[in-house]
Amino acid sequence: MRIGVLGAGAIGGFVGGCLLAGRADVIFVGRQARGTVWQQDGLRLTDLDGRDDVIGPERIAYCDTVSSLRGCDVVLVAVKSGQTADAAASLSPVLAAGTPVLSLQNGIENTATLKRVLPSAKVLRGMVPFNVTMPGPAHLHRATEGEIVVEDDPAMVSIAPFFRAGGLPLQLRHDMEAVQWAKLLMNLNNAVNALSGLPLRQQLGMRGFRRCLALSQREALSLLVAEGRVRPARLTPLPPSWLPTVLDLPDGLFRMLASRMLKIDETARSSMADDLAAGRFPEVDWINGELVALAAKLGRSAPVNARLCALVKEAAAHGLKPWQPAALLEELERVARPLAQRTGGHAVEVGDDRGGS
Ligand SMILES: NC(=O)c1ccc[n+]([C@@H]2O[C@H](COP(=O)([O-])OP(=O)(O)OC[C@H]3O[C@@H](n4cnc5c(N)ncnc54)[C@H](OP(=O)(O)O)[C@@H]3O)[C@@H](O)[C@H]2O)c1
């Protein structure tokens, strides 16, 4: 089986690298500069549980053109959400009909985009729960824990063993939309983390920032209840609806109850923080923005998530001025307050409640 990886970045590199370590035949498609380093130095894969594998440069097949994925039996998509449509369009003339295309991306919309642009492919939803960092140009590190979840489909019968051989246990599930929404609830922290300018563990250790995340999650949960179509899956020991309450707890209690959530390497940051640092357009429209879109569909508003979108985009455009927890919380509580309270009872045009800029 030949496995193609479209998007040789943090996730594509780590997952593809693990598959290679498990002796799969993998070809990476990514930017040439990265390929040059990997094909010169090899690829080192480490994790917080002590994994330390080095894959020799001679084993790394890497190309910067999508056409090299011709003939692959499965393609893993690991580009950022904003790049999905273009990446899929270049994959379209290359892919044989019925080829499984497994999205390992965050957000809800990527598989719909892939299905639209690749109507003859077998698009499968995947969810990667862990964070991957790049301590060096040829070194990828899994900085948190969790098992990859993939849509339970007959195509996975021949693909899953390669994941297991590579030390990536898989859960196969039928409720992938619920799984993706549960992951999106966790990913709402990406924006808070990016705005904090801090490593994840330090940021999540601060109650003010956790309360920002709790506000954003409460808004999400209330919209999902209002829509009534999908209930986020339970991916953690606590049900998703309890998460905001736990996040609100004082630091000591939170550390006791949510120690697993804090099992993060000290230097790890969210991939949205990495986007800001690298000057890339952040994925925020596909995460917090998904709630703004859902609110609009329901004739409601999502002021907290709209404000987080606006703040992250502002930081991307003009540079990040890291927020203090109390200031960010005050800003989000301000936009979350009903409009009448914010204006002291003065009449304000309806529909002006998004708080975005
Ligand atoms: N990083 C994490 O810890 C993590 C964890 C779970 C899920 N995810 C999700 O996984 C997805 C990928 O995230 P990531 O952090 O791995 O992204 P990433 O590090 O930016 O990797 C994507 C790579 O693909 C390259 N690329 C994009 N389009 C391409 C094309 N058409 N041809 C060749 N190369 C192309 C990008 O290059 P340029 O940057 O030059 O465009 C980038 O190097 C996202 O949806 C993210 O939310 C990430």
Q: How far is the CA of 140 from the centre of ligand 1 (A)?
A: 13
% of the chain beyond a pLDDT of 70:
95
- Output the residue whose Cα is nearest ligand 1's atom 25: 7
pLDDT tier at 354 (50, 70, 90 boundaries)?
Answer: very low
- Atom number of ligand 1 nearest to Cα 83: 28
pLDDT at 258: 86
CB crowding 305-317: b at 16 or more within 10 Å, else e = bbbbbbbbbebbe
pLDDT at 342: 61
Which pTM value belongs to this model?
0.94
- Atom number of ligand 1 nearest to Cα 132: 3
- Output the residue whose Cα is nearest ligand 1's atom 45: 105
pLDDT at 350: 33
- Output the residue whose Cα is nearest ligand 1's atom 10: 105
Q: How far is the CA of 175 from the centre of ligand 1 (A)?
A: 25
Is 102 exposed, middle or buried (CB count within 10 Å of its CB: 0-12, 13-18, 19+)? buried
Mutate to test the pocket of ligand 1, among 11, 284, 287 (most ligand atoms within 8 A of CB): 11
pLDDT tier at 347 (50, 70, 90 boundaries)?
Answer: very low
User: In the CATH scheme, what is the homologous superfamily, with its name and number, of domain 177-342?
Assistant: N-(1-d-carboxylethyl)-l-norvaline Dehydrogenase; domain 2 (1.10.1040.10)
SS (H, E, C) the chain: CEEEEECCCHHHHHHHHHHHHCCCEEEEECCHHHHHHHHHHCEEEEECCCCEEEECHHHCEEECCHHHHCCCCEEEECCCHHHHHHHHHHHCCCCCCCCEEEECCCCCCHHHHHHHHCCCCEEEEEECCCCEEEEECCEEEECCCCCEEEECCCCHHHHHHHHHHCCCCEEEECCHHHHHHHHHHHHHHHHHHHHHCCCHHHHHCCHHHHHHHHHHHHHHHHHHHHHCCCCCCCCCCCCHHHHHHHHCCCHHHHHHHCHHHHCCCCCCCCHHHHHHHHCCCCHHHHCHHHHHHHHHHCCCCCHHHHHHHHHHHHHHHHCCCCCCHHHHHHHHHHHHCCHHHHCCCCCCCCCCCCCCC
First CA to last CA distance, the chain: 48
pLDDT of 321 strictly over 50: yes
Domain 2-173 has CATH 3.40.190.10: no
Hey, what are 66's tokens?
A: 């999508």
- Atom number of ligand 1 nearest to Cα 129: 6
pLDDT at 344: 56
Ligand 1 — pocket residues by CB below 6 A? Answer: 7, 9-12, 29-31, 66, 78-81, 83, 86-87, 90, 104-106, 128, 131-132, 271, 280, 283
CA-to-CA distance for 344 and 342, rounded, in angstroms?
Answer: 6
CA-to-CA distance for 35 and 62, rounded, in angstroms?
Answer: 6
Q: How far is the CA of 282 from the centre of ligand 1 (A)?
A: 11
- Output the residue whose Cα is nearest ligand 1's atom 47: 106
User: Do 106 and 187 meet the contact criterion of CB atoms below 8 Å apart?
Assistant: yes
User: Do 128 and 107 meet the contact criterion of CB atoms below 8 Å apart?
Assistant: no
- Atom number of ligand 1 nearest to Cα 104: 10
- Atom number of ligand 1 nearest to Cα 128: 6
Order of strands across the sheet with 139-142?
A: 52-55, 43-47, 139-142, 132-136
Q: How far is the CA of 154 from the centre of ligand 1 (A)?
A: 27
pLDDT tier at 236 (50, 70, 90 boundaries)?
Answer: confident
pLDDT of 296 strictly over 70: yes
Least Cα distance to 51 among 114, 122, 118, 145 occurs for: 145
- Alpha-carbon 307 to chain mean position: 19
* pLDDT tens digits, 9-51: 999 999 999 999 999 999 999 999 999 999 999 999 999 999 9
**Length of the chain (residues):** 357
pLDDT at 351: 34
CA-to-CA distance for 304 and 75, rounded, in angstroms?
Answer: 36
- Distant-in-sequence, close-in-space partners of 23: CB < 8 Å, separation ≥ 6: 165
pLDDT at 338: 76
* pLDDT tens digits, 117-128: 999 999 999 999
- Atom number of ligand 1 nearest to Cα 29: 33
- Output the residue whose Cα is nearest ligand 1's atom 30: 87
**Residues spanned by CATH 1.10.1040.10 within the chain?**
177-342
**Residues spanned by CATH 3.40.50.720 within the chain?**
2-173
- Atom number of ligand 1 nearest to Cα 133: 3
Q: What is the mean pLDDT of the chain?
A: 94
